[in-house]
Amino acid sequence: MKTKISTIKAPQATGPFSQAVVVGDFIFTSGQICLTPEGKLLEGSTEEQIHQIMKNLQAILEEAGVSFAHVVKTTIYVTDMAIYKTVNEIYGSYMAEPFPAREVVCVKELPLGAQVEISMVAEKSS
pTM, two decimals, is: 0.96
Instruction: Find the radius of gyration of the CA atoms of the chain.
Output: 14
Q: What Cα–Cα distance (Å) separates residue 88 from each residue in 12, 15, 16, 92, 115?
A: 26, 29, 30, 6, 14
The per-residue pLDDT for 125 is 78
Task: Set out the domains of the chain in order of their start, with CATH numbers.
Answer: 2-123 (3.30.1330.40)
Spell out the per-residue pLDDT of the chain, length 126, in tens. Answer: 899 999 999 999 989 999 999 999 999 999 999 999 999 999 899 999 999 999 999 999 999 999 999 999 999 999 999 999 999 999 999 999 999 999 999 999 999 999 999 999 999 975
Contact, 37 vs 60, CB < 8 A? Answer: no
From CA 70, how far away is CA 56, in angstroms rounded? Answer: 16
Identify the pLDDT of residue 14. Answer: 86
Beta bridge partners of residue 122, listed in sequence order: 27, 71
Q: How confident is the model at residue 25, as a pLDDT?
A: 95
In angstroms, the Cα distances linking 12 to 2, 32, 78, 82, 97 are: 18, 10, 22, 30, 30
Give the pLDDT confidence score for residue 126 in this predicted structure.
Answer: 54
